[in-house]
């Protein structure tokens, strides 16, 4: 394309966006708001985490706005895969769940930004531009909370056991689900309860969820 054609092309220079959120109404609202910006263009939308990489490859998206909790694959795992498969596509996590653990894990997965869904439209658009430029954008209140909270104290196995315990069930049920012995499950549950400062398994799950230490 010639320089003159680039100048006359209304889509030239626009930042190409991929929206990944399992709630269609949220995706529609984001698309409408961001579409009002002259330099932003939504080129793909998906409702599942395991569709993100294919959508990015097919659309040539430059920035992906990704929710955390989605079917098929959570947004943090999708971020990790997207950054490996399409390094040129940057990721901005946009979620309802502003939890310190989610922020830490998202950044470790390669996200360039993390904001909550009630961020004003103008600020969200600016966050997209900054991420596209290679800058990091993090909700300041959440960043401070994350520094205070620190990393998850749970081991990967303790996290797995607590995630399985979300739906209830006996120790034997959890052992069968995780292909572990009942004694091993009991030990991991006891350790997780102690580390979260909880008194019961249900309370340990709640504390871990509130801190963003659990995903599924």
pLDDT tens column, 166-197: 888 899 989 898 999 988 999 988 888 888 88
Looking at residue 101, what is its pLDDT? 79
Phi, psi dihedral angles at 44 (to 5 degrees):
-160, 150
Question: In the CATH scheme, what is the homologous superfamily, with its name and number, of domain 3-147?
Answer: Response regulator (3.40.50.2300)
Mean pLDDT of the chain: 86
Q: CA-to-CA distance for 130 and 4, rounded, in angstroms?
A: 27
Burial label for 94, CB within 10 Å (0-12, 13-18, 19+), is buried
Query: pLDDT value at position 147?
Result: 54
**CATH class of residue range 156-210:** mainly alpha
CATH 1.10.10.10 segments of the chain? 156-210
> DSSP character for 13?
T
Let me know if 146 is exposed, middle or buried by CB neighbors in 10 A (0-12, 13-18, 19+): buried
In the chain, CATH 3.40.50.2300 sits at 3-147
Q: For residue range 116-148, list pLDDT tens digits in order.
A: 888 899 999 999 999 999 999 988 766 656 555
User: Apex CA 19: angle with CA 5 and CA 151, to 5°?
Assistant: 130
pTM above 0.85, yes or no: no
Dist CA 109 CA 66 (whole Å): 12
Which whole number is the average pLDDT over 196-210?
Answer: 84
Q: Phi and psi for 204 in degrees, rounded to 5? A: -65, -40
pLDDT-derived band at 24 (thresholds 50, 70, 90) equals very high
pLDDT for 206 beyond 90: no
Cβ neighbours, 10 Å, residue 177: 15
Confidence of residue 149 (pLDDT cuts 50, 70, 90): low
Would the pLDDT of 6 be above 60?
Answer: no
* Residue 120, number of CB atoms within 10 A of its CB: 9
């Amino acid at each position: 394309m010639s320089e003159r054609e680039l100048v006359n092309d209304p889509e030239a220079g626009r930042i190409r966006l991929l929206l990944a959120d399992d709630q269609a109404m949220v995706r529609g609202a984001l698309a409408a708001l961001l579409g009002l910006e002259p330099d932003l263009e939504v080129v793909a939308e998906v409702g599942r985490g395991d569709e993100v990489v294919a959508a990015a490859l097919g659309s040539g998206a430059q920035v992906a706005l990704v929710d955390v909790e989605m079917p098929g694959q959570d947004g943090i795992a999708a971020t990790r895969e997207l950054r490996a498969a399409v390094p040129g596509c940057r990721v901005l996590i946009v979620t309802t769940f502003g939890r310190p653990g989610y922020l830490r894990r998202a950044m470790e997965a390669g996200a360039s930004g993390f904001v909550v869904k009630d961020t004003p439209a103008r600020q969200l658009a600016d966050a997209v531009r900054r991420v596209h430029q290679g800058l990091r954008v993090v909700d300041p209140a959440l960043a401070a909370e994350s520094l205070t909270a620190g990393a998850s104290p749970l081991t990967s196995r303790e996290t797995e056991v607590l995630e399985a315990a979300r739906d209830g069930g006996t120790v034997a049920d959890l052992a069968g689900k995780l292909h572990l012995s009942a004694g091993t499950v009991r030990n991991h549950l006891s350790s997780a309860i102690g580390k979260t400062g909880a008194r019961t398994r249900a309370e340990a799950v709640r504390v871990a969820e509130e801190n963003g230490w659990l995903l599924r």
